[in-house]
Amino acid sequence: MNKNHPSTEPQSNDWYTERFISEGSSIGLQLTQTLHKEQSAFQSIEIYETSHFGNLLVLDGCIMLTEKDNFIYHEMMAHPALFSHPSPSQVAIIGGGDCGTLKEVLKHKDVEKVVQVEIDQRVTELCQRFFPQLCESNNDPRAEFYFGDGIQWVEGTPNNSLDLLIIDSTDPVGPAEGLFSQGFYQACFEALKPGGVLVLQSESPFYHSHTIIKDMKLKLKACGFENSITRLFPQPVYPSGWWSCTASYKSAPQGSNEHAMKRAKTFATDYYNAEIHFASQAQPEFMR
Ligand code: SAM
């Protein structure tokens, strides 16, 4: 997952091991089969079948997701922000080509339109083939697919036109580097309506609290976002096994209280619920 820490090819025929060199650690998954390998116009794409985690997607040597644990990340990228907006109607996802976040967003009846802006069409095509359960809402008439650079797309979006903007990106290198820049956050701020919310995948609280997450929050504040909440959750196949997303609010969050949220959540989830919504906001001492 983390391109700051170059990974290796599988060390034997049986395991995929991603090494995080600067942290002196790694994550390994036992493989049963190679399903697909290609070099797209943007990145290397590998898909494996694993013994215990279902199918595995790897981009440029970084683990992106497995069938077994992706629900935690995708639910946390979508639901806390959607439930803290009073009427999220116009949504855009930048990146997110596996379509898992899109599927979660579409569970919300208030959402009238979601545009997914993915730079690499091959990621989406291959996920439709190898991760069909993530793509099961792709034919929802509210979903629109645009294949191109998310930075240019946001810059070209009319001011005050989106309720929610989700940045479901790879790590801050290559085509995703600009998705972590202050210029991009400013373009997101302008594209959001008053009361709009920007959600960013914000890497590992254990490894990146004092680097990527701190830097991100300073930049978001400088762009005018009123406040930012970093939510923490487990993610077994990402570096440290612990991940985060950061929601930035153009004005103070107005969403549901716990009871209202329980009533509003009319659909099934496997991780997210009203208690997780609040518990995930708690910050450990080393992050304060
Ligand atoms: N859940 C994942 C994670 O945190 O590892 C993210 C997965 S999703 C597949 C990330 C997607 O962002 C990739 O498919 C990649 O092609 C896309 N991406 C990277 N840079 C982009 C850009 N500038 N514009 C649009 N999409 C981009």
- Backbone angle region of 95, left / alpha / beta, with phi > 0 → left and psi within -120 to 50 → alpha: left
The residue segments making up the domain with residue 232 are: 70-287
pLDDT value, residue 13? 66
Q: Does residue 125 sit in the same domain as residue 56?
A: no
Catalytic residue numbers? 168
pLDDT value, residue 172? 85
For ligand 1, atom 16, name the residue with the nearest CA: 120
> Residue 36 maps to which CATH number?
2.30.140.10
Q: Which tens digit of pLDDT belongs to each residue from 217-253?
A: 999 999 999 999 999 999 999 999 999 999 999 987 6
pTM of the model: 0.94
Total residue count of the chain as it appears in this document = 288
pLDDT value, residue 4? 47
Q: Does residue 200 sit in the same domain as residue 128?
A: yes
| Ranges of the chain with pLDDT below 50 | 2-6, 10-11
Q: Does residue 183 sit in the same domain as residue 265?
A: yes
- Backbone angle region of 155, left / alpha / beta, with phi > 0 → left and psi within -120 to 50 → alpha: alpha
Last residue within a domain, chosen from 34, 66, 98: 66
Separation in Å, CA 166 to CA 25, 80, 105, 179, 202: 29, 12, 10, 11, 12
Per DSSP, the three-state class of 208 is helix
For ligand 1, atom 11, name the residue with the nearest CA: 95
pLDDT value, residue 131? 98
Residue with token string 């899109």: 102
pLDDT value, residue 6? 47
Q: Does residue 123 sit in the same domain as residue 244?
A: yes
| Residue 16: closest CA among 86, 84, 66 | 66
Angle at 212 between CA 242 and CA 155, to 5 degrees: 115
Angle at 271 between CA 237 and CA 233, to 5 degrees: 50
Residue whose CB lies within 8 A of the most ligand 1 atoms, among 169, 213, 237, for a mutation test: 169
